[in-house]
Amino acid sequence: MSKTILITGGGGGVGRSTARTFLEAGWKVGLVGRRAGALEETADGHHNALILPCDVTDEDAVDACFGQARDAWGRVDALFNNAGVNVAAGPIDEVSVDDWRDVINVNLTGSFIAARAAFAIMRAQDPKGGRIINNGSVSAYVPRWGSGPYTASKHAITGLTRSISLDGRPHNIACGQIDIGNALTDMAEKMTRGVPQADGSIAVEPVMDVAHVARSVLYMADLPLEANVQFMTVMATNMPYIGRG
């Protein structure tokens, strides 16, 4: 019997690559995102793909589309909590409160809403249990210059991951976090042209194929529930991360 996973932010980038990797591995994949057309592109007609247009910041919509997946499959084995946004880099006094709220609303509140909905399904199904994998970032540990909203959201994701891990123990629900550094997606393409560094310079940064992230998420999800990757960092080998240098 095929295992099942919901992937938020499935319309592009890490979400698209991960979804296709899981489909190739024989999983049933629920593609969650705001743009139905982009989700259709990710699915590319695959018979095991379920298109679930949904805004992760809308709890009623998330509950409905996760319930649709449960009803279609009979159970939900995993969630990859991947949806996220960022804003232009800048010192804190140049970041608008609206931009702060947008990032926190999607990256943190959206992740909470999706995890909450998946947890409820996993707790109630028979046999109960499942796995939640949160997309953190290397910024969950070491910030970039001018990244206040994004870095704060990802630090909070680490706390959410640890909290869900404890909440899930009585219900056979495992929770882990993948922290990604410089995977080459549309969001990271600018790194190949040069991005601001902490010393004020602009520098090109090494990047890696996003497929390495997708395979890492698949490894985490494929483990039996008695084992868990609590935190995994997957990054371009020579990117400025350790000491940000």
The residues that are catalytic are 150
Please state, in angstroms and rounded to a whole number, the distance separating the CA atoms of residues 124 and 134.
21
Contact 210, 14 (CB under 8 A): yes
Please state, in angstroms and rounded to a whole number, the distance separating the CA atoms of residues 214 and 80.
11
* Residue among 203, 189, 199, 200 at smallest CA distance from 238: 203
Structure tokens of 196?
A: 């601001």
Contact 179, 138 (CB under 8 A): yes
DSSP codes joined into one string, 173-188 = EEEEEEEEE-B-STTT
Structure tokens of 163?
A: 């909290």
Contact 148, 92 (CB under 8 A): yes
| Geometric angle at alpha carbon 48, from 171 and 72, rounded to 5° | 55
Please state, in angstroms and rounded to a whole number, the distance separating the CA atoms of residues 120 and 180.
27
Find the length of the chain.
Answer: 245
Contact 14, 84 (CB under 8 A): no
